A and B are shown apart, each in its own frame.
Chain A
Amino acid sequence: GESVGLHLPTLSVQEGDNSIINCAYSNSASDYFIWYKQESGKGPQFIIDIRSNMDKRQGQRVTVLLNKTVKHLSLQIAATQPGDSAVYFCAEIPFNQAGTALIFGKGTTLSVSS
C-alpha cells in the first residue's frame, strides 16, 4: 500500500480565498516531508518542506503544518490566485539509514476561479 495519500482528489476555490490541502501519511517514522506543485505537462515544483522536529513552517503565502500525533500534513495557501491552479502532491522520505527516495501521494487538483 501507499505510505502517503491525500484526503480529497479535487478542491475548488474562489480567487482570494485561503486553500487548505490535506495529506495523511502512514509511516510514523518518516522524518522529512515536501509539498510539490505540478502544472500540466511540467515536472513537480518544490513549494515547501518540513522536518519531523517541526510543527509548522511558513513560506511566501504558504504554510505547512505537521501533526505527528495523527500523521497528518497540510498545505495552506493564502489569498489563492488563478496561477495556483495545479495538482499538489505531498511526498515523504521514510526514516531509513540509506534511503532518499521520495514517496508521493496521489495528488489534489486545485482549481481557482476568478
Chain B
Amino acid sequence: EPEVTQTPSHQVTQMGQEVILRCVPISNHLYFYWYRQILGQKVEFLVSFYNNEISEKSEIFDDQFSVERPDGSNFTLKIRSTKLEDSAMYFCASGAGRKETQYFGPGTRLLVL
C-alpha cells in the first residue's frame, strides 16, 4: 500500500541553524501539506501546496519557513533560522484531490536546542 515517507525521523539542531525536512508524498497525489504537532497538543496546519505553488498557509508559516518540490517525488520544508519554539513533530501529508483524504507520514521530530 502506498504511503507517505519522511526523513529524517529525528533532527536535533542548534537555535539559529537551518533545517530541511524531507517528504516523499504518495506518487499520484497532487496536494501536499505540512503540519506540526507540539508535544501533547493538537495537530496544526502549516501550509498546502498544489500545482507547484503554495495554495494556503497559516499564521505559523512565516518568512522563516519555505516549501519546495525540487523534483517529481520530493517535497521539502525548510526552516531558515530555527527557534526553540520550532521544536515539534512535523508531519507531511498528501491527498489526491482538493477535498479528499489526506494521508500522513510518520513525522520528523525536530528538537531545537
Residues of A within 8 A of B (CB): 2, 31-32, 34, 36, 41-46, 49, 89, 91, 93, 98-107
Contacts and interface: CB of A to CB of B under 8 A. Distances in A.
Given A45-B104, A98-B56, 8 more contacts: A46-B101, A46-B103, A46-B104, A98-B55, A100-B33, A100-B56, A101-B58, A105-B42
Interface string B85-97: 0000001010100
Contact of B95 (A42, A44, A100): A100
A100 B98 contact: yes
Given A43-B106, A100-B48, A105-B42, A49 B101 contact: yes
Interface of B: 4, 31, 33, 35, 41-45, 48, 50, 55-56, 58, 91, 93, 95, 98-99, 101-107
A23 to B, nearest CB: 12
Contacts of A103: 45
**SS of B interface (majority):** strand
A104 B44 CA distance: 7
Contacts of A32: 99
Nearest to B9: A41
Contacts of A91: 43
A106 B45 contact: no
A2 B43 CA distance: 12
Given A42-B107, A100-B55, A100-B99, A89 B43 contact: yes
14 contacts: A42-B106, A43-B4, A43-B91, A43-B104, A43-B107, A89-B42, A100-B95, A100-B99, A101-B45, A101-B48, A102-B33, A104-B43, A105-B42, A106-B42
A69 B6 CA distance: 40
B56 A44 contact: no
